[in-house]
Amino acid sequence: MFESPREIASVLHVDMDSFFVSVELLERPELVGLPVAAAHDTARSVVSSASYEARRFGVRSAMPVARAKQLCPQLVLVEPVYAKYRSASKAVMAVFQEFTPLVEPLSIDEAFLDVAGTVRLFGQPVEIARAIRERVRERTGLPASVGLAGTKFVAKLASQRAKPDGILEIPPHRTLEFLHPLPIGAMWGVGQATERALHARAIRTVGELAREPIHSLERIVGGASARRLHELANGRDARRIVTTRSEKSIGHEETFAHDVSDAGALQRELLRLATRTGERLRGAGAEARTISIKVRWGNFETITRSRTLPDATDATQRIYHTARELFDGLDRGGRAVRLIGVRAEQLLPAGSDIAALWSEDDGWRAVDQAVDEVRERFGASGVTSASLLTGRGSVVDPRSLEAPG
């Protein structure tokens, strides 16, 4: 007799272990057991993935390579090849689809699965989890960890505690028993600043957070965050598996080969990023209500600024001028810039914002349309802004542009 889906841990979070490194080790078996990281061997690069042997030294994803070498002088670096990782990810996701159509990819190496509807075919969820891991290993040679629970939040926490290469099931009736002893930093949405604020109020565990009155939490983290954290801390997470996703934002960022102080160079980079962002917006048939910038100083301090526009836009010049104004409003204090980014957010289908149909962007849209047509016909190099020709390509290390996995 099968239990009700509400009574079983039918939500799985499958997370590939040290994904990029694991893929590389398939071709470099002599490196198995050594501290290995997938990263470009340059001073400005960051670690994309680290083996568990490297993690014992404190090496982590997104850590600067220079720092990783300090922590682990014997660290072996392998050049990341992202085409291989995309191919391996496709094979892994195909295995998930063999067990349930309800698969929600979160990134290249992890996904949520809902197996409540397939227990009659494949057995109890923990049996399905074992079968998935075995089939992934058989098809790809790669290890995976699986967390099972009644909710997404708890399943993801369980998979982290199942690593490496394990399974952890949290039956729904034992959710609070699992959650409440955990440190507050384990909560989704609790960053360092929030963690410090909660610690200042003697809230150090998930259980203490669950018992804190909502009105008290609102004074610490604000209304929306207070309600969300309180629900999660009490084991309540109503989110369902989402099998299709629409882009919530579109943007680009660049890491400079050397920290940049020159205002002209930074303005040109903002224009280039705004141009690419505008092209992608128009290509996706979308417009943005909000434009944001991201700036990382030479000391790795990172800040973001955003502005919501009176009407949605896909116009390159509107994106650029907004980004430029946000950047000019920063208190730089003479600091050099390591990374800069432009992002379009709060996306709407093009033409759905009635106010935007009679906006100041009309003239710019005509120019963008003409430029897009030229690019489509002659390629990306067919036309560009004159201001981008000065110093073009002189400050960016293209190998640093790969996104960490």
The annotated binding site for Mg(2+) is made up of 15, 109
Q: Which of 24, 53, 104, 110 is catalytic?
A: 110
Please say if 110 is a catalytic residue.
yes
Question: Rounded CA gap, 334 and 336, in Å?
Answer: 7
| Pairing outcome for strands 286-297 and 302-313 | antiparallel
- Residue 106 makes CB contacts below 8 A (sequence gap 6+) with 112
Encode burial over 46-70: b for 16+ CB neighbours within 10 A, e otherwise. Answer: bbbbbbebbbebebbbebebeebbe
Residue type, 85: Y
Judge whether 142 and 22 are in contact, CB under 8 Å: yes
Question: Rounded CA gap, 395 and 382, in Å?
Answer: 22
Residue 118 is encoded by which pair of tokens? 């397939």
- Residue 90 makes CB contacts below 8 A (sequence gap 6+) with none
Give me the phi and psi of 248, to 5 degrees please: -95, -20
Instruction: Cite the annotated binding site by residue number.
Output: 15, 109
**Host H or E run for residue 29:** none
Question: Rounded CA gap, 314 and 280, in Å?
Answer: 9
Q: Where are the alpha helices (DSSP H) in 285-350?
A: 316-328
Q: For the chain, what's the residue count?
A: 405
Give me the phi and psi of 176, to 5 degrees please: -70, -35
- Return the biggest CA–CA distance within the chain: 72
> How is 319-335 classified by DSSP, letter by letter?
HHHHHHHHHHTS--TT-
Q: Which residues are catalytic?
A: 110
